[in-house]
Amino acid sequence: MKDQSWQARADAHSFYGFTDLPTIHDRGTVVVTHGEGPYIFDTEGRKYLDANSGLWNMVAGFDHPGLIAAAQAQYARFPGYHAFFGRMSDQTVMLSEKLIEVSPFADGKVFYTNSGSEANDTMVKMLWFLHASEGKPQKRKILTRKNAYHGVTAVSASMTGKPYNSVFGLPLPGFLHLTCPHYWREGQPGETEEQFTQRLANELEATIIKEGADTIAGFFAEPVMGAGGVIPPSKGYFPAVAKILKKYDIPLISDEVICGFGRTGNTWGCETYAFMPDAIISSKNLTAGFFPMGAVILGPELSDRMQAASEAIEEFPHGFTASGHPVGCAIALKAIDVVMNEGLADNVKRLSPRLEAGLAQIAQNPNIGELRGIGYMWALEAVKDRETKTPFDGSLSVSERIANACTDQGLICRPLGQSVVLCPPFILTEPQMDQMLEKLEAALKKVFAEVG
């Protein structure tokens, strides 16, 4: 008889993405059925504390009644519409107003997508369109950083600075990756953090001069790199970079898909790191993970220029069928309200020092090389030797082992390179945080005893 377990059924017809296949063969797939607060439950009845908020996005937990009610009400009222040909839903109009209101911009306009990748892709097309319209069709190169994560479409994967994209023959030509602003890993012997930041600023300026400012369409950056391993910028990085970009008239785009709506302790990551971008990319937290949706939020200057470029040829020839979906917009409106006005953002602000202190305690383990992060996004990087920052042999798969040991204890956290990532939902309470830290510490001790 055919194996009818959930495991076998998942294996038979569901193609895995970003999944380590040997681990699946070894440990099986976790088939998830439902959630409660920060917990998820699988088909075997096991309960896990999801310390990764799903994929950073389920910030209000997995069963928030207000978000479910907002979705149900909008489905009953008007379950779907587009935003083409001069029509759009009332929810779309209201969400755009709200996004500009809560943005750092005095004024601006919003364009909707179904994902963060599509939002970055859309922003690149906007810049290409805009520069060509302004008589600079050669102003097309995109600057990002190594280790950056901007998505998986052909363009956003080209912006992503990860070696795995070479299997697709990416990046496309014209996508340039600068040094990752990770002082602990990239700083040279004897170099202070300030000198490191200055070196990266010099690298940016030298690149602009070498390539020609008139060939560079824009610079994209996550305030804190997420999927690159939770890497906050080195001290003074963004003010230094922003000044150079301004000097050469290159737009600065803040990819706030993870940092937006409270993850770093402020509404925006650009607020936390004191810079003013020309546009913001939002997704993930935008709907608290309750609907697939992304947004390009243009500041006043890019809005005006995009408007003029569109008027010149009578339209901006771009859009997705589900752009500005009324249910997604209604959920986003509710999610913003829940995060900003129902105590979730405050919870991050209030409890992140406690989280940091708990992790710092765990990071005293000599096999932890670096604890880094801010707000509710942290990584612990494992090392064989703390002094020399020597990593464990890759074949030991240390971070995978740690994550697996956590899963065995009912805690989900994510292996990333040699690090484990913790980015819990904003609703996490103090007892849940203690439970998370206890399980993590036990898993680390177990694995380091095996490999140390």
Q: Which residues here bind ligand PLP, judged by CB under 6 A?
A: 115-117, 120, 149-151, 222, 226-227, 255, 257-258, 283-284
Give the nearer residue to ligand PLP in terms of CB position, either 60 or 159: 159
145 token code pair: 């950083």
Give the nearer residue to ligand PLP in terms of CB position, either 52 or 117: 117
Shortest distance, CB of residue 291 to ligand PLP, whole angstroms? Answer: 11
Q: How far apart are CA 362 and CA 380, in angstroms?
A: 9
Task: Provide the CB-side half-sphere exposure for 222 (13 A, CA).
Answer: 31
Q: How far apart are CA 148 and CA 274, in angstroms?
A: 20
Give the nearer residue to ligand PLP in terms of CB position, either 57 or 435: 57
Q: How far apart are CA 435 and CA 47, in angstroms?
A: 13
Dmax over CA atoms of the chain, in Å, equals: 70
Shortest distance, CB of residue 41 to ligand PLP, whole angstroms? Answer: 24
Q: How far is CA 327 from the centre of its chain?
A: 23
Q: Which residue is nearest to ligand PLP (CB)?
A: 116
46 token code pair: 């096991």
DSSP string, 212-259: -GGGEEEEEE-SSBSTTTSBPPPTTHHHHHHHHHHHTT--EEEE-TTT
Give the nearer residue to ligand PLP in terms of CB position, either 78 or 168: 168
Give the nearer residue to ligand PLP in terms of CB position, either 271 or 342: 271
Shortest distance, CB of residue 43 to ligand PLP, whole angstroms? Answer: 25
Shortest distance, CB of residue 117 to ligand PLP, whole angstroms? Answer: 3
Q: Is residue 316 helix, strand or coil?
A: coil
Give the nearer residue to ligand PLP in terms of CB position, either 293 or 383: 293
Give the nearer residue to ligand PLP in terms of CB position, either 265 or 358: 265
Shortest distance, CB of residue 346 to ligand PLP, whole angstroms? Answer: 23
Q: Give the CA angle between residues 415, 406, 8 to the nearest 5°.
A: 80
Q: How far apart are CA 235 and CA 198, in angstroms?
A: 10
382 token code pair: 């494992």
Shortest distance, CB of residue 18 to ligand PLP, whole angstroms? Answer: 10
Give the nearer residue to ligand PLP in terms of CB position, either 227 or 411: 227
Residue 366: cis peptide before it, omega within 30 degrees of 0: no
Q: How far apart are CA 20 and CA 416, in angstroms?
A: 12
Place of tokens 């998942």: 10
According to DSSP, residue 188 is labeled: P
Give the nearer residue to ligand PLP in terms of CB position, either 154 or 213: 154
What would you report as the CA-atom Rg of the chain, rounded to the nearest whole angstrom? 22
Q: How far apart are CA 76 and CA 89, in angstroms?
A: 14
Please, are residues 350 and 110 in contact by the beta-carbon 8 Å criterion? no
